[in-house]
Structure 1
Amino acid sequence: MTSTRPLRADAVRNRRLLLAAAADEFAERGLDASVADIARRAGVGKGTVFRHFATKNDLIAAIVLDRIDALNAVGAELLEATDPGAALLEFLTVAAHQRQQRDLSFLHESGELPTEVTRAREEMSQTVHGLVDRARKHGAVRADVTGADIILLMCAPNYVASYVPDASPDLWRRYLAIIFDGLRPEGAHPLPHPAPPTP
């Protein structure tokens, strides 16, 4: 992985450009995207890529970590929100919007990712469970919904919308609203199967 020493301002800028360019290339071309194409898109040389990321897997891990860390930052703020139901909906909205911008879920399956990514995933799981616990205690979501349910549902709005040819970029919002209505306690019926184990 990359050095933990603080980066100069130009190095920070180059790293952000590289992460954005790599995310775009991977979204368009999949894992076959080349380092040369990523460098070209970012407006830097290949050497700059390898100064920041020793391998392509390091670059993939950095993108995944960047996305999870962004969600964790949002989640940490929402854990302090006064309306737990609105906080959970906001978190799901941010997660779905992030995926709508660039669906990079396949990067999570690209190979062994470093411990920083595992740590960030565990932090996100704890955050989601915290948001769900608060919403449940305040009666904003049904009593039998768990954090594990919500983690699985985070991908659902975009997944469903992806099956519609030439769909509006905001179609996922319709399915998120349907999902959230299903989470509310009003009119809820017993679920036919227990929740899965915590991811």
Structure 2
Amino acid sequence: MAEGLTLDDLRIARGEDELLRLDAHVAPGEVLTVMGPSGSGKSTLLAAVIGTLAPAFSLEGRVWLDGRDITALPPEARRVGILFQDELLFPHLSVGGNLAFGLARSVRGRAARRARVAEALQEVGLAGFEARDPATLSGGQKARVALMRMLLSEPQALLLDEPFSRLDADRRDRVREMVFARARERALPVLMVTHDAEDARAAGGRVVTLD
């Protein structure tokens, strides 16, 4: 199986009703955009890929990531990162604490972990924000922290569940550009679901529309 994310004849149904069927390959650094109205199955597709599909749904087909069949693996073993509409930062942790929570287990030792967090903040223009309360951040700053927390876990694929929809137009453009740039730099296959045609245009790549 090729490198990247492969949805091998996926079929998701609820009872006797087929919700969606998709057969696609997303190469490293590419974006596949799935569009459709609310209720068309976009978020359910992401749940199937990340391993959180509700029991009410059935899944046929396979999900492959870099040649590894992850269909039956628990979410924590899949190496798939996801960004949601809400940043979901932990309110009881500082910005640095949020990022440290996402660090891969391979980063060991307090000094190494602090250095990696500082490097991540520097990368997104938030150097020195380690002690900040997430509640004091702007929407764009929260989005940047959420992105870096996810990337620090060293995922092999990235899922986007309308992550730009709550940002104003200016912040949306900047955050969107940053997310796609970081994904390309890390050669991550990206599966994005959205109802916004501007997101699809910015992503480039193929677009699949669900009825």
Q: Could you say which structure has the higher helix fraction? A: 1
Larger gyration radius, structure 1 or structure 2: 1
Task: Tell me which of the two structures has the higher relative contact order, counting C-alpha pairs closer than 8 angstroms and 6 or more residues apart.
Answer: 2
- TM-score > 0.5 by shorter chain: no
TM value normalised by structure 1: 0.24
Q: Could you say which structure has the higher strand fraction? A: 2
